Every structure is written in C-alpha cells, then in structure tokens.
Amino acid sequence: MEEFLAGYDPRRYPPVAVTVDVVALTIRDRRLHVLIVERGVEPYEGAWALPGGFIRPDEDLAGAAVRELAEETGLDTAPAHIEQLASYGGPGRDPRMRVVSISYLAFAPDLPDPRAGTDAAAAVWHPVDDVPRLAFDHERILADGVERARSKLEYTPLATAFAGDTFTISELRLIYESVWGTPLHAGNFHRKVLSVPGFVEGTGETTQTGGSRGGPRAKLYRAGDARLLHPALLRPSREDEIR
Amino acid sequence: MEEFLAGYDPRRYPPVAVTVDVVALTIRDRRLHVLIVERGVEPYEGAWALPGGFIRPDEDLAGAAVRELAEETGLDTAPAHIEQLASYGGPGRDPRMRVVSISYLAFAPDLPDPRAGTDAAAAVWHPVDDVPRLAFDHERILADGVERARSKLEYTPLATAFAGDTFTISELRLIYESVWGTPLHAGNFHRKVLSVPGFVEGTGETTQTGGSRGGPRAKLYRAGDARLLHPALLRPSREDEIR
DNA sequence: CTGGTTATTCTCAAGTCGAGATTGACTCAG
DNA sequence: CTGAGTCAATCTCGACTTGAGAATAACCAG
C-alpha cells in the first residue's frame, strides 16, 4: 500500500518503469499463432519479443495494451477479447533498470499479416509451438498466456472470440483443437456445444457449399449470451498435470 | 515492451510508483475473514485498507508481498499459500501520483490476532461479508480476491491451506462452506473428497473426542499430493452468474 | 440412561461423458 | 455422370458423477 508515500518520497527510490506486454493469439491454418515483433532498438535489438511498451500518464493499463498492439503491428482491428494476464517484475529481468511488466492476453479472429509499426523492425503471426527465442522473460509470459487461453476455453465461451461473427460447429471444434493441441470427438463435441445453455445460437443459415473435400453444408451459429460454460467443456484428461 | 527505453529516458517520464497489496484470507468462527489495517499516514489516514507497500530494489514481487504482510501485521507465520492476483493501475487511483499496485492473494490457517506493525495504526482479521469502507480501490481488489479464492477451491486442493496440518472432512467442509457462503451436503461432500485422487490422505488417526455437541470421533486427514482436483469440486449451480 | 448431534456409508434416479456407429448431403476425380 | 471419400448431424450404450435422502452407529450433555 501507499502508506510509505507520506514518509518516503518515491522520487528518491530507484526508478521503476512500468510496461505492458501483449500475448495476442489467433488461429491460422488450424494452428495457434502468437503475434511477435522484431525489436528495432537495444536491448535485445534484432531479437523477437512480444509487442508492448511504456504506459502513458493518461491511460489505464488495458488501454495501453490495446494501443501498443495497434502501434507496433499496424492492425487497426481491436482484438475480440483482451484480459489481464499477470505481472512480472523481478529484479534483473531488464538489464538496465527495474522494469515491471503487466501482461495482457488478447484473442483475435484470423487477421491480415501485421506490418511493423513504431519501434518494431518486423511483426508477424508465428505458430506458438515453434516460437524462436524471445527477449527478456517473454517466453515465460507466452507460456503463461497459452496456458491461460487453454484454461479459459474450458469454462468460458471465449473460443468464439477466435471465430468470425458466424461459424459452424466444426470451425469451433477446430479452434478448440488448435488451442488445446488435441483432437476432439466430433460427435460428442457437437452434442456438448449445443447442450450448454447460451454458448451458441443458431442463425437459421447454413454454409453456401459443403467443405472443400466433401460433406454436407453445415449450420451457422453465432456466439450466445453466456459468460460461463456450465457444465464446462473440459480438456481430455491431463493425468500428468494433476499431481 | 521495453523498446522505448533506448529512445526515451524513463526518468523523463512522469514517475510511477509500484506497490504490492495483499488480500490475506483465513477462516475464523466459520466465516471468511480478511486482514485489514488502519492507515497511520496520509492519504486516507485512519481509513482501513489492505496491507501493502512499495517494492524494494532487491526483492521480487512475491517477496515484497510476504514482507509487507509480515511487517504490517507482526505475524511471523508465512501464509500457507500466496499467489499473484491482479494489477491495478488506472490514472487517478492514488491522489498524489501514478501508482501501479500488484495484488497478491494469500491463504492462511486460523492465526492469532495480528498486531499493528510499521505504518499501520491497527491490524485485524475482519469478516469479508461485512468489511468497512476501504481506501483506494481496495474494495474492488478484495472482491476480486474473494472471487478468485472461491474459484480456486473448485479446482485445486487449496482449501487445505486454510486448515492445520491434519483436519477432518467436516472441517474441510466448513472451509468450503465459509468461503463459498453456501451449505453443502455432508454425505456427498465426504464421498467427493475421498474420491478425488490426491486431495487428502488418511493419517490413521482420529480426533480424540467427538464434537462438542455430540457425534462420533472423526478420522483425520492431511493434504494429498494433487495440484489439481479432478474431477473438480464445483459450487452449487450459480445460474445467475452464467449469463 | 435419553435425546440430540455428527461421521460415515448406502441407495437410487438423473445427468454427463467417451467411444463408436449410422445416415445422408456434398465434392472431386475419372 | 458415377463412385469413392468426406463430413455434419444424430443416436446408442455403458461407465461415471451428482444431488437428495436415508440408515447406522459413535458420542456428548444433562
């Protein structure tokens, strides 16, 4: 708490910088991708990193995350979902000074390729299971973000944030499979999605054609009004992670 | 990210202070209690608030949380569990300057009354469902902490962090009932706790007497080695929170 | 001893889940 | 145009899990 402020002048403390870093996820070609940028400045110049930057005096933390995402990638579409992930602030995580980073997790539907914006030499969507080395402790942040995303898909309808306005049950299943990295039983998934109240609602429409490799036209759905999935849609058993 | 640091001198930015605040929870007399302190300094002098304070240059964030908890309350027992909760940093949350607060959530077994330590005029355990007005945005932080605690009890064995080394199933049930604020079916709870692998393990002992109002001696258990409860132990349905 | 309290175990019906199979619409190669 | 293969959607079945209620027996207070 701030009790110290009256007694201590914070300006006499060693300076602390506060940044936001964003783990922006999307699905491309059935694989989970993360947005990374090539750093254009020291330290770690030329290395890959998560997009992010300093907070400004007049903006809140989430606002800073959205701004940094837009600035460094040139994407003008705000992500379909953004939430705070965690904060990282151990001494020594930045070689120059104490830096506390507040990370955000963003979900976006398949977006165009980003273009490098301010302070980034390049910006690309990269598959999460094959990311190059990242600067600072960004590999840890990314891992935490991916685990959070996997977990969120279990008990919230946020998978729809990766999809367009309307989608088929199979497209939704591909999102789950991509994020979880596990194949799912199509019939059981279909039954489950339709049985959870408020997860999706039918549009009355179907796709205009069958799939490119055959199969009937699929019904189209849009996101429902549920905020939580109940009962949850759980990942296939992860025995190893229980103990 | 830190790209700006090479171009911008962070010392030229308006100063930002980083604090940690702790939501420390325990169970007393079958009710969930939170540790609050009476502020001894401006601003909000005399108001109640969560314990917390500035991070120091040489400690990490979790270390700062543990230190603040000990310093302001005189409790020398580290909590059984502590985890990061969230960060709060909107402009204007502190009247004097930009303050980013990183909050931690701590679970402790029933501890002695705290004594006011540095910077606190008083420190007490207070029932969470009847807290006085708190300084800054600490009511929001407390609400987030309580919701996190309720949720954690569903899918982790952390309820045992509120109990002593050994405990009976009924004591464990009282913890769940206190945190969730809901009565639970004793027989079903008993069955569930024993059926989840690694939640608890028997000690072979029983209590020395029956309960003060009657009933047989209960078997004693200790925490098992599970990190996650599978299947989870869910709160009774919360229809209203789903939509 | 008596009545009330509590730990522990059972029963039973309803709901959920994983695995597999079926039906019929659709695409594509030949 | 036809046959093979793909896929959406539905159904079946057995194994489990859950909520509600009840039975049993150990133990306390008076």
Confidence of residue B9 (pLDDT cuts 50, 70, 90): low
The single-letter code of the amino acid at A82 is I
pLDDT at B10: 55
Nearest to A60 among B61, B90, B102 (CB): B90
pLDDT at A5: 41
Query: Which residues 91-130 of chain A have a CB within 8 Å of chain B?
Result: 91, 94, 96-102, 119-120
Q: How many residues does chain A have?
A: 243
List chain A domain ranges. Answer: 4-151, 156-242
> Is residue B146 scored above 80 in pLDDT?
yes
B200 CB below 7 A from strand C atoms: no
The mean pLDDT of chain B is 92
Query: Which residues 213-232 of chain B have a CB within 8 Å of chain A?
Result: 225-228, 230
> Is residue B3 scored above 70 in pLDDT?
no
pLDDT at A9: 53
Confidence of residue B191 (pLDDT cuts 50, 70, 90): very high
pLDDT at A2: 42
Q: Cα angle vertex A197, ends A192, A202, to 5°?
A: 80
Helix (H) or strand (E) holding A219: strand A219-223
Summarize the confidence of residues B76-90 as an average pLDDT.
Answer: 95
pLDDT at B73: 87
A168 CB below 7 A from strand D atoms: yes
pLDDT at B13: 66
Residue with minimal CA–C1' distance to D19 is: B188
Enter the CATH code of domain B12-152.
3.90.79.10
Would you call B7 and A94 a contact, using CB atoms and an 8 Å cutoff? no
**B197 close to A (CB below 8 A):** yes
Eight-state DSSP code of residue B216:
P
Residue with minimal CA–C1' distance to C5 is: B214
Nearest to B99 among A2, A135, A198 (CB): A2
Cβ-count burial B214-224 (b if 16+ within 10 Å, e if not): eeeebbbbebb
Would you call A89 and B18 a contact, using CB atoms and an 8 Å cutoff? yes
**B7 close to A (CB below 8 A):** yes
The two beta strands, A16-28 and A98-107, are parallel
Nearest to B57 among A14, A58, A197 (CB): A14
Q: Are A103 and A22 in contact (CB under 8 A)?
A: yes
Would you call B3 and A87 a contact, using CB atoms and an 8 Å cutoff? no
Task: Provide the residue-wise pLDDT of chain A in tens; the chain has 243 residues.
Answer: 444 444 445 555 678 999 999 999 999 999 999 999 999 988 999 999 999 999 999 999 999 999 999 998 888 889 999 999 999 999 989 888 899 999 999 999 999 999 988 888 999 999 999 999 999 999 999 999 999 999 999 999 999 999 999 999 999 999 999 999 999 999 999 999 999 999 999 999 999 998 899 999 999 999 999 999 999 999 998 877 777
Helix (H, G, I), strand (E, B) or coil at A230: coil
Nearest nucleotide over every DNA/RNA strand to the B237 CA, judged by C1'? D19
Q: Are B39 and B153 in contact (CB under 8 A)?
A: no
For domain A4-151, the question of CATH label 3.40.50.10470 is answered with: no
Which residue is associated with the tokens 């003060």? B212
B190 CB below 7 A from strand C atoms: yes
What is the CATH T-level fold of the domain B156-242, as seen in this structure? Arc Repressor Mutant, subunit A (1.10.10)
pLDDT at B132: 98
pLDDT at B117: 84
Query: Which residues 154-173 of chain B have a CB within 8 Å of chain A?
Result: none
B206 CB below 7 A from strand C atoms: yes
Give the separation between CA B75 and CA B108, rounded to whole angstroms: 11
pLDDT at B2: 42
Q: Which tokens in the block code for residue A226?
A: 């549920």
- Count of C-beta atoms within a 10 Å radius of residue A194: 14
Nearest nucleotide over every DNA/RNA strand to the B173 CA, judged by C1'? C7
pLDDT at B31: 97
Would you call A102 and B91 a contact, using CB atoms and an 8 Å cutoff? no
Q: Say what the ipTM of the complex is.
A: 0.93
> Nucleic chain D: which protein residues 203-242 of B have CB below 7 A from it?
209-217, 231-234, 236
The two beta strands, A81-88 and A98-107, are antiparallel
A238 CB below 7 A from strand C atoms: no
Chain D bases closer than 7 angstroms to a protein Cβ? 4-12, 17-23, 25-29
Summarize the confidence of residues B208-221 as an average pLDDT.
Answer: 95
The two beta strands, B98-107 and B16-28, are parallel
B213 CB below 7 A from strand C atoms: yes
Give the separation between CA A205 and CA A229, rounded to whole angstroms: 24
Name which of A84, A115, A55 is nearest B4 in CA terms: A55
Name which of B211, B147, B214, B225 is nearest B173 in CA terms: B211
pLDDT at B6: 41
> Is residue B21 scored above 70 in pLDDT?
yes
> Is residue B4 scored above 70 in pLDDT?
no
Cβ-count burial B192-213 (b if 16+ within 10 Å, e if not): bbeebebbbeeeeeebeeeeee
pLDDT at A12: 57
Half-sphere exposure of A38 (CA within 13 A, CB side): 8
